[in-house]
Every structure is written in C-alpha cells, then in structure tokens.
Amino acid sequence: MSLGCDLTLLEELTSNAKQIQEDVLNKILKANANTEYLQRFLQGSSDKELFKKNVPVVSYEDVKHYIYRVSNGEPSDVISGEPITAFLRSSGTSSGNPKIFPANNIFFKNVQIIYTLCSVVMSKHVEGFKEGKVIWFQPASTTPCGLPIAPVLTSFTKSEYYRSLAKKSTSPDQIIMCPDTKQSMYCQLLCGLVQRDDVVSVGAVFASVLVGVIHFLENYWKELASNIRSGHLSEWITDLGCRDYVSILLGDPNPELADLIENVCGQKSWQGIVSRLWPKAKCIDAIITGSMAQYIPALEFYSNNELPLVSLRYASSEAYFGLNLEPLSKPQHVSYTFLPNMSYFEFIDVDGEIVDLVNVKLGHYYEPFGLHRCRVGDVLQVTGFYNMAPQFRFVRRKNTVLSVYAEPTTEEDLLKALARATVILESSDLMITGFTCYADISTVPGHYVFYMELKAKVNNTSIDDLVLDTKVLVECCCVMEESLNGSYRSFRRKNGWIGALEIRVVQQGTFASLMDFFVCRGSSISQYKTPMCLESAEALKVLEDKVLARFFSDKSPPI
C-alpha cells in the first residue's frame, strides 16, 4: 500500500475494509501470539478463532501490570511482539488515573497515514489549505522514563515518522518539544504571530487546549508585541532550541506588526480575535465532539462565527480510530470514519455481544476495544458507511459526568469528594442538605463549582443566619480537590489547565426550588432526585439567584 497523497488511498482502504481487517488481525496474531500476555490464552497459536474464543474482554486494570513491567525495563515481548518504541499516556480510566499504553513503529506509521489523509481531506474541502501554514498548539510534556511518554496525539509528533512528514506547522519541532510548557507556548504564539499572513488553520488537539491558549495570549500579548517591536526575545526564554529558532525568526524590529497586535488585542472585546490576528485563517481545527462540545460557543465567539470548527480526528491511547471525511460539517453532524488498517477493531454492543468492524449496524450503539480487547470506555453510534468502512458519531464517554479539560470525572469521584467535605463540615457543626455541581467554563481555565445548601447540626440554625467560617469552607474546597481523580489533580497542577475548585453556598430552600423547577418541567415528584451535575442554564439560574457566599481552594492538590 503506497502512502499516496491523494484520495485513492482512502478509497482503497475503505473499499477493502473486510480484507484489510483480516490481514491486520493475522499480522497482529502472528507477531504477538508468543507474548507473555497472549501466551496464556493462545499457547503460541495465531489462530483467529482461538483468539476470539479465548482472549477475554478486559479493562485496563487487567493489562496494566504487563504494561508497567515493560515501562520499568522488562523486554517488550511481555505484552508486544513488536518492539515498543513509546508509551502513550491517556487522560484516564474510569477511576480517572492516567493510563499508559505501549506503542510501536507500526502504530506511528499508521498515524503518519492518518496525518497525510487529514491533509488531503482538508485540501479537498478548504480552498487554499494546501498553500498555507497551520498553527497547531501543543502543550509540551515531560519524559519520566527512558522512552517518550505523551498523549497519543502529541506522542506522534515525537516520533521519527512525524519528522519525515512534510509539515506545514508555523512552529518547528524543537519548540513544540521544549519540555517547558510556558516557554514552548510563548514561542509557538510568537511563531504564529510573526507568520500570521501564511496561516490557514488555527488549532490544537482539543478545543479546551485552544481556549487555554487564548487565555495564555490574554496574559502575554503585550510582551509578545514588545518582542516583535524590538526584534529581541524575552530573556526568560532560556531553552536553547526555542531561543535559537525564534531569535532568527523575529529578525529585525517590526513595529508595524507590533502595533497591529497591540491594536487587535487591546480592544475591549476579544470577539473574533482569531480571525483578526490570523486574517487568512480558513478554519479552527480542534476536537469539538464529546465533552469538548462545551467549548463550541467560546470558539465561535473567538472566531466571530466566521470560521468553521473542524473536528478531524478520533483517537485514543488504545488505538487511533479514524477521521472525519466531511471536515466542514456542523459540530452536531460530525462522524468519524474508521480506517481498517489502523488496528483490528472490535466493539461490544448494549447486549454484550462482540461485533467486528465490518458487522456493526446502522443506528446501533457500541463501545470499541483497544489493545488486547481492552475496553475503551467511549460510546459511539453508527451513522453511515463510507464504502465498507463504518462511520461513528461520538456519543459520550462512559461514566464521565464532569470534565473541563480532558479529565474524566465520574459520579464516584464526586461522591468521594463530597464525603471528604462532609467530614470537614461536620467538625464545624455543619451538614450538607443539598448538593450539585457543574463545570464552569465561562472562566478560563474552567473550574468545578459545587453548590451546597448547609445547615447547622446542633441548634438547627438556618444557613441564612449563620456566619460562615471562610477557613473551613476553603479547607473543604482543598480536600475535595485532593480526593478527585489523578487526571483532575494533574491538570489542575500543571500549568493550571483547570482552575481552583469553588463552593457556592446557597440560601435555605434553594434545593427545594430546584426540585420545583424540574417538577414544573415534567419530572415526577415521587421519583425526583437532585441531579449530581447540572448543565441546563435555566436550572443553574435557580441556584445562582440564591448564592450567599463563594469560596475557592487556595492550593493545588498533590498529584
């Protein structure tokens, strides 16, 4: 199969989905049958039927031990027949603690194909895309073990396959890979601003990252403009890779561009800021499906509704799934076409039946598997077929109820946090009589807000007559953060991708009003349960009108 730069490759792949899947499975079984993990179930056989019969559907917890053994220095063949060349870090399991997955060069070669195809698809749909450059913001990541470790979509940029790809990015590899996120982000912005007239696409992996970058720009535009004005890079950029490249790129002082940036960024409203800073941009490229849909209004605001939001890829650490062949489709119509060469795909349906890629049915819901039949935790719905390759709409992440960055916070996490807060409050003679929460993304970075109705335990004093002890409530915020999952804590700590957790204490009777609100809209009073999390703006208003006091966590939780 050639890495041809036209759509014939896509036709080839999608038309032969069945055969390609068979070949992929054969190859995987031949290469992996003797790994310690599969040996247990297959005794060295690479027979497909035996694989289907004997290899169990597992969760990450079941394979974790094997993966960690390799990451700690044991040979790859504990879990992989091919040499493992990197580890991919995921945003989290259902328990929210980041997972790591092994990757090999076959994986990166496949991602290279996806990148090439994405470019081809974009060129087909977006006029002028081919000729211009793209700004692709990437928060840098660290390398705690011998092999590179990074989220799947970042990890590829660290592989040799990325290096050999013809690139259109405004920032070179040494800036994207600078381990200091702040220096890297500053320089990525500088590169993007200096080359503003060439930029046809402004993007980041997730919409949340892009909104975070705009927030970063809010804090740094004056300094960026001043660097451009003088032609000198700020001294705090000490990373040599960044320094060398940007110093040359800045070149001579450029007061015209500096004036322009100051003028655009100095305006009171940042509505349309992306289109104003990058006037030739034709789209915003970021994942906006799933939990990222909450950022659509922000991105529409920053682009003044003038730029299409393009959600091109669907990938996870378990597998790279596919791409959106209609990049200009509206967010609610985005579907991803699975590419059969990427991996051997299986799914579990609502009845617990395992189904192959080519046997999924239109309209049905499925959860995909990843490495060694490991459940991914996403719910997808089949929306159509491109040739023989199914297309899926991302419905939701299983179990995740709250997410402002990419952390999967579950109901269980929230209950744990609530239990910790309850203990603190009880020691101050307070009890919680009503509780709900929501992800507030009107602030950047977004943060969790917990509404609480409180009551004094002993003398039954209404909250409206109590003087609240700030220390106690701030302490509650802190312990709640401590008990949230590992992904939350790490995003909260690292460069502030999540803001401080907030408790809003509401007046007595607020949760009764909330119930009235829902009952008026058709909820059965006998079955009413306060929702653990709220999304409806109207329901939030019921609470918001009755807020008595606000408290914020005053320190980052330990990781």
394 near ligand AMP, rule: CB under 6 A: yes
Q: Considering beta carbons, is residue 77 or 300 the nearer one to ligand AMP?
A: 300
191 near ligand AMP, rule: CB under 6 A: no
> Considering only 24-32, 312-320, 355-363, 452-460, which stretch makes contact with ligand AMP by CB under 6 A?
312-320
Rg (CA), the chain: 25
Separation between Cα atoms, residue 71 and residue 86, nearest integer Å: 9
479 near ligand AMP, rule: CB under 6 A: no
The nearest distance, CB 422 to ligand AMP, in angstroms, is 31
> Considering only 265-273, 274-282, 308-316, 342-350, which stretch makes contact with ligand AMP by CB under 6 A?
308-316
Separation between Cα atoms, residue 57 and residue 347, nearest integer Å: 10
Binder to ligand AMP among 140, 287, 484, 542 (CB under 6 A)? 287
Binder to ligand AMP among 82, 300, 346, 378 (CB under 6 A)? 378
90 near ligand AMP, rule: CB under 6 A: yes
> Considering only 69-77, 256-264, 315-323, 352-360, which stretch makes contact with ligand AMP by CB under 6 A?
315-323
Beta strands 100-104 and 84-89, pairing class: antiparallel
Q: Considering beta carbons, is residue 272 or 370 the nearer one to ligand AMP?
A: 370
The nearest distance, CB 118 to ligand AMP, in angstroms, is 12
Task: Name residue, tokens 């040599």.
Answer: 240
Taking CA 395 as the corner, what is the angle to CA 394 and CA 398, rounded to the nearest 5 degrees?
110
148 near ligand AMP, rule: CB under 6 A: no
316 near ligand AMP, rule: CB under 6 A: yes
151 near ligand AMP, rule: CB under 6 A: yes
401 near ligand AMP, rule: CB under 6 A: no
154 near ligand AMP, rule: CB under 6 A: no
DSSP secondary structure string for all residues of 183-238: HHHHHHHHHHHHTGGGEEEEEEEEHHHHHHHHHHHHHHHHHHHHHHHHT---TT--
Mark 213-232 with x for binding to ligand AMP (rule: CB under 6 A) and - for no binding.
--------------------
Binder to ligand AMP among 91, 154, 155, 234 (CB under 6 A)? 91
317 near ligand AMP, rule: CB under 6 A: yes
Separation between Cα atoms, residue 545 and residue 370, nearest integer Å: 46
β-strand partners of 217: none
By CB under 6 A, the count of residues binding ligand AMP is 17
> Considering only 4-12, 65-73, 242-250, 286-294, which stretch makes contact with ligand AMP by CB under 6 A?
286-294
80 near ligand AMP, rule: CB under 6 A: no
297: left (phi over 0), alpha (psi -120 to 50) or beta: alpha
Q: In terms of Cα–Cα distance, which of 119, 83, 124, 123 is closest to 103?
A: 83
Beta strands 447-456 and 502-506, pairing class: parallel
Q: Considering beta carbons, is residue 63 or 228 the nearer one to ligand AMP?
A: 63
The nearest distance, CB 520 to ligand AMP, in angstroms, is 33
Instruction: Quote the distance between the C-alpha of residue 167 and its chain's center.
Output: 23
Burial of 353 (0-12, 13-18, 19+ CB in 10 A): exposed
Binder to ligand AMP among 120, 135, 152, 185 (CB under 6 A)? 152
Strands, E, within 416-483: which ranges? Answer: 430-440, 447-456
The nearest distance, CB 317 to ligand AMP, in angstroms, is 4
β-strand partners of 455: 431, 462
The helix or strand, by DSSP H or E, that contains position 88, with its residue range, turns out to be: strand 84-89
Q: Considering beta carbons, is residue 170 or 291 the nearer one to ligand AMP?
A: 291
Separation between Cα atoms, residue 366 and residue 84, nearest integer Å: 29
Binder to ligand AMP among 192, 290, 322, 486 (CB under 6 A)? 290
The nearest distance, CB 204 to ligand AMP, in angstroms, is 13
Binder to ligand AMP among 289, 294, 391, 490 (CB under 6 A)? 289
> Is residue 338 classed as helix, strand or coil in its secondary structure?
strand
157 near ligand AMP, rule: CB under 6 A: no
314 near ligand AMP, rule: CB under 6 A: yes
Torsion of CA 185, 445, 334, 111, to 10 degrees: 40
Q: Considering beta carbons, is residue 183 or 289 the nearer one to ligand AMP?
A: 289
Positions 106 through 135 that interact with ligand AMP (CB under 6 A): none
Taking CA 233 as the corner, what is the angle to CA 230 and CA 237, rounded to the nearest 5 degrees?
160
The nearest distance, CB 329 to ligand AMP, in angstroms, is 13
Binder to ligand AMP among 242, 376, 454, 479 (CB under 6 A)? 376
Separation between Cα atoms, residue 348 and residue 356, nearest integer Å: 9
Q: Considering beta carbons, is residue 91 or 490 the nearer one to ligand AMP?
A: 91
8 A C-beta contact, residue 343 and residue 319: yes
Taking CA 416 as the corner, what is the angle to CA 523 and CA 90, rounded to the nearest 5 degrees?
100
Binding residues for ligand AMP (CB under 6 A): 90-91, 151-152, 287, 289-290, 311, 313-317, 376, 378, 394, 397
